[in-house]
Structure 1
Amino acid sequence: MIKKEIAATVALGCFALSTNAFADFLSDSKATLGMRNYYFNNDNRDGVAAPSKTEEWAQGFMLDYKSGYTDGTIGFGIDALGLMGVTLDSGKGRHVGSTMIPSESDNRAVDQWSRLGLTGKVKISKTELRYGTLIPKLPILVANDGRVLPQTFEGGQITSGEFKDLTLIGGRIEHATGRGSTDQTGLAAMGGTRESDHFDFGGGDWKVTKDLTAQYYYANLDNYYNQQFFGLLHTLTIADDQSLKTDLRYFKTDSSGKNSSGTSGYRISGYTKNGDGEIDNRTWSATLIYTLGGHAITAGYQSVSDGSSFTQLNQGSLAGKGAGGTSLYLYTDRLIQSFNRAGERTSFGQYAYDFAAMGLPGLKASVMYLSGDNIKTTSGDNQKEWERDISLDYILQSGTFKGVGLGWRNGKSNSEASRDQDQNRVTVSYSIPLM
């Protein structure tokens, strides 16, 4: 079915093109089938409210087709993304709180779910316009890929590399589909129950020198907020296998439209300075990453102002859509917590090791610890929380199963601002090139 729809779309878009142009369109095409087997276990260690535990197992398939461009000054193409999930193990009691598998009308996990995304694209020189299904990874919008299938967005994006060392990006997002859903929704901010009409964004990355990159992005979520981002990335090469990376980030987020006026449904949840649900936040962070051979040591600090929590797109409060699950462009956005609450100050450190340095390529491990304090909530001030995360990954390097990836994530969080949690995730992934 997916192949038929792709073929029909391509035919309609290219019927007037010459045989040679269409041949270029096909010869540069690529298609891969990605498979991800995902076990998820989140255990709430305190509190009596449901869920006490969410535990599920699912298999995901992602057919990713990317066409080439037709020949000529203006090149045309089309991409297609077919997603399907299959429930392997779940139960009504263990499905409560799930953000991985959609729910039936009786709140049980569905047996399987799927969706199709199409993206038309046009390229002129070094500028590309894409319209359709997008999976953005930008400082002001990061698509979440933390479960068996990724979150996707619908809209248009233009990317230009016409100027040397400068990449410019802009666009408009109009809809989203959650990682554990097949339902398309409008857009919202954390706790907002009314859909925004659109999300506009623009900005760019400027490679000032080969070692220094400056970033600026602006975003507007209609009737919720305006956000500006400033970033600096610098890498100091000390020796062939030794470097120090500096990552500085600053976000300025202010209310906009109906959120400014306190209109019901557009207010965000959690603590706000005047108790009116209005967005008012400044968040900055400084991170150093020192690498030596296979070793990497990360140390950083993040500060969130106390006007409101740091916020970006979050559709989780839109009723009945299964749109929960979001990612933030913060070093502190981890397995369980994001350390982005109003007033929160977070110190964090991580040690990672790449075992290729010991002659074991494909094996990587890390452990991270984060500690936050000065949290303001509606129930009190100066609350604290911490989280410890462990990750272990291995990609088979040879044999019949070469390329199969194995991953384990373990997180433990203790928080005065939310429930204590223990979490485990186990994944097996593999990608097959089809063309």
Structure 2
Amino acid sequence: MQKLFIIPALLAVSMPIYADGFIDDSSVSLTARNFYMNKNFYNNTVNQPSAVSWAQGFIFDAKSGYTAGKIQFGADMIATLGININSDNAGRGMYVVPSDDTRTWGDVALTAKAKVSQTELKVGALNIMNPVFITSPARLLPQLFQGISLSSKDIDNFELSAAYVNKVNHRDSTDWEKISLANTNWRFKQQATTDAVYFAGGYYKFSPQTKAHLFYLNVDNIYDQIEGGLENTYPLTENINLLSDVKYYRSRDIGDANGGNIDNDMYMANFGFQRGAHKLSLGTIINSGETAFPYLYNSEVGVFLDTWPNEFWNAKEHTYSIRYDYDAKAFIPGLRFMTRYTYANNIHTTNNQSLPGGNPYLLGGDDLHESELDFDLMYRVPEGKLKNLGFRIRHAISDNNMTSSAAIKPTRETRVNIDYTWKFK
């Protein structure tokens, strides 16, 4: 199957490229990223030493334009290289460098694409971002999926997409693997793998300020998921906006239910007040049903709460968050700051399905809680010779009252990355 996706990409690359747009509308860039991550398990210093990853990465991204004609063709390529500088205990939830002794790793991925009007077909390596399926960019190298995608903007105010995906190349790996279910803290029967993932859905813009979306995800023989949401920006004055983002996810096991019982309804709402460079947001997430919220292993979830050490997806968990953002463009263009505090309670673990020894109290039982305090400082040089040079430092302090057997432990986590992008075209 993998050869099936590579062949059309090679054909597209070898086709005549003198056609209008193929080169003129192309883009070529190289990003050098130095990434450091430290997880200090401060309540488990004896049994759980700190995990550290420090690595250098390179991401070469080349995208062609399209040939002329009613049916237009193009090709994309992404090549990655990671170099492990210094890492200890990297297998403990880091996903930055390979967990074995590999010092360098990387890959080359190709995508063939065709376009008719505003409808685009892609075959090969895919980069996807929607409420039910995300290609994670949150480490040294990007995650990639392999499959076929179709997107369209031909209908006014609609943005539609669908895809079939069967393999993943993780952020800390060079191998194309089967996609699997995340099974943190033994929530499900097993970390089940699947032969296929499908999704379809889209966005509808009622106005430039209001957007609705509806998506369906099918992880073959594990679970399916329906997501619906509404995002709105309401201007009170020229400088003040009220922001709202509400979503609902319904997840159930399907087919052979290889991951075990999956029964989760997740309701979330985030409301913000933005005045100039300042934004204050209040959010909540309510999990109901018999199980935790399911998601794909080593991936992310398309919700407003993108915390770092914690997940906040446990069974019956209730989460509350307050966040402040500041854009210092009036004083230091390119500088941004964010801080956020998140607290959650009502965590249930006794129904987790694959607890070692079948011990329902291994993680501490029910009515547990967790919290996280985050700081995020970003700066990107906006102009001059160092334009496209970026710095980012993130620090999180997380806590919970689960036992030491839990996979997610009280942690002080620091991430630092320095990026520089050369744009050749």
State the TM-score, normalized to the length of structure 2. 0.89
Q: Name which of structure 1's ranges 231-240 and 367-376 shifts more when overlaid on structure 2.
A: 231-240
Aligned counterpart, 2:282: 299
SS in 2 for 1:25: coil
Q: Distance in 2 between matches of 1:386 and 1:188?
A: 27
Q: Within 5 Å, which residues of 2 pair with 1:187-266?
A: 187-191=179-183, 192-259=190-257, 266=258
Aligned counterpart, 2:358: none
Once the two structures are superposed, residues 181-213 of structure 1 have per-residue CA deviations (whole angstroms, 9 ceiling, x without a partner) of 111111121224342110011001000122211
Q: Distance in 2 between matches of 1:291 and 1:239?
A: 11
**Runs of at least 5 residues in structure 2 that lack an aligned partner in the other structure:** 1-5, 184-189, 351-360
**Runs of at least 5 residues in structure 1 that lack an aligned partner in the other structure:** 1-5, 260-265, 268-276, 315-324
Q: Distance in 2 between matches of 1:331 and 1:310?
A: 15
SS in 2 for 1:351: strand
Alignment partner for residue 338 of structure 2, among 343, 352, 366? 366
Q: Within 5 Å, which residues of 2 pair with 1:31-430?
A: 31-47=28-44, 51-91=48-88, 93=89, 97-104=93-100, 108=101, 110-191=102-183, 192-259=190-257, 266-267=258-259, 277-314=260-297, 325-357=298-330, 359-378=331-350, 379=361, 380-417=365-402, 418=406, 419-430=409-420
Q: Name which of structure 1's ranges 203-212 and 66-75 shifts more when overlaid on structure 2.
A: 203-212
Distance 1:25 1:94, change over 3 A: closer
- Equivalent residues of 1:141, 1:312 under 8 A apart: no
Distance 1:97 1:76, change over 3 A: same
Once the two structures are superposed, residues 294-313 of structure 1 have per-residue CA deviations (whole angstroms, 9 ceiling, x without a partner) of 10101011101141111122
Letter of the 2:333 counterpart: P
SS in 1 for 2:193: coil
Once the two structures are superposed, residues 367-419 of structure 1 have per-residue CA deviations (whole angstroms, 9 ceiling, x without a partner) of 10000000000321110010000000111234542321111000010012341
Q: Distance in 2 between matches of 1:308 and 1:60?
A: 38
Q: Distance in 1 between matches of 2:417 and 2:94?
A: 17
Q: Distance in 2 between matches of 1:245 and 1:100?
A: 34
Aligned counterpart, 2:21: 24
Letter of the 2:202 counterpart: G
Letter of the 2:97 counterpart: I
Q: Distance in 2 between matches of 1:11 and 1:72?
A: 20
SS in 1 for 2:137: coil
Distance 1:20 1:117, change over 3 A: closer
Question: Identity of aligned pairs, percent?
Answer: 30
Once the two structures are superposed, residues 245-291 of structure 1 have per-residue CA deviations (whole angstroms, 9 ceiling, x without a partner) of 110000001110111xxxxxx22xxxxxxxxx310000010111111
SS in 1 for 2:194: coil
- Equivalent residues of 2:33, 2:417 under 8 A apart: yes
Distance 1:199 1:206, change over 3 A: same
- Equivalent residues of 1:20, 1:71 under 8 A apart: no
Distance 1:15 1:196, change over 3 A: closer
Q: CA RMSD in A?
A: 2.0
SS in 2 for 1:12: helix
- Equivalent residues of 2:230, 2:245 under 8 A apart: yes
Distance 1:58 1:15, change over 3 A: closer
Deviation at 1:38, TM superposition (A): 0.4
Letter of the 1:402 counterpart: K
Distance 1:148 1:122, change over 3 A: same
- Equivalent residues of 1:51, 1:96 under 8 A apart: no
Distance 1:188 1:352, change over 3 A: same
Letter of the 1:13 counterpart: A
